[in-house]
Amino acid sequence: MSPPEERLRRGDPFGAWGGGPGHRGGGRGGRGRARRGNVRAALLALLGERPMHGYEMIQELDERTGGVWRPSPGSVYPTLQMLEDEGHVTSQEEGGKRLFALSDTGREEVAKQTTAPWAEVTEAAGENALRGREAVGQLMGALHQVMSVGSENQKARALDTVNDARRRIYGILADDPEAE
């Protein structure tokens, strides 16, 4: 199994074509992934709406960008700590979790923002990236359903369809009219 196929098997729908949230760009024509968002500005903006837990902020950013940007805990939690050290954020334990809220200086920082930081990320990603992610997600959902409840014949036909689609998509990259 090739590395892209292995990533697809593991549930990474973008792994099969080398893109998606973890992709580091480069490749043909200099195309790469969407630029990373400003974690600091995004966390402040979210906390400007209401107090939240760290994981809740990660989920919110994932949702608001249509899955294009999901900052890692390794970037979110140190940023929250830095914001707290700077006096922009306060936190308190609540049910075993830390609840973060803006301080007065944090509210002043949020008031300076003119654009939602997650809007910049989705704009930079482009409409086709967002539509592609949604289409792949829907394809994976359909394939999962067939593989879960379909007959052996239906499963084989679904896999043939997916493999044919993969070949045709690579054909598009190769500008091969026979593949389309």
Tell me what the pLDDT averaged over the chain comes to.
77
pTM: 0.53
For residue range 108-151, list pLDDT tens digits in order.
999 998 888 877 776 655 666 666 777 777 889 999 999 999 99
Match domain 39-125 to its CATH number in 3.30.413.10, 3.40.630.30, 1.10.10.10, 3.40.50.720. 1.10.10.10
Q: How confident is the model at residue 12 (pLDDT cuts 50, 70, 90)?
A: very low
Q: In the chain, where are the structural domains located?
A: 39-125, 126-180
What the block records as the tokens of 150 is 């379909």
- Is the predicted pLDDT of residue 59 greater than 90, yes or no? yes
Would you place residue 63 in the very low, low, confident or very high pLDDT band (cuts 50, 70, 90)? confident
Share of the chain above pLDDT 70, in %: 71
pLDDT in the model for residue 92? 95
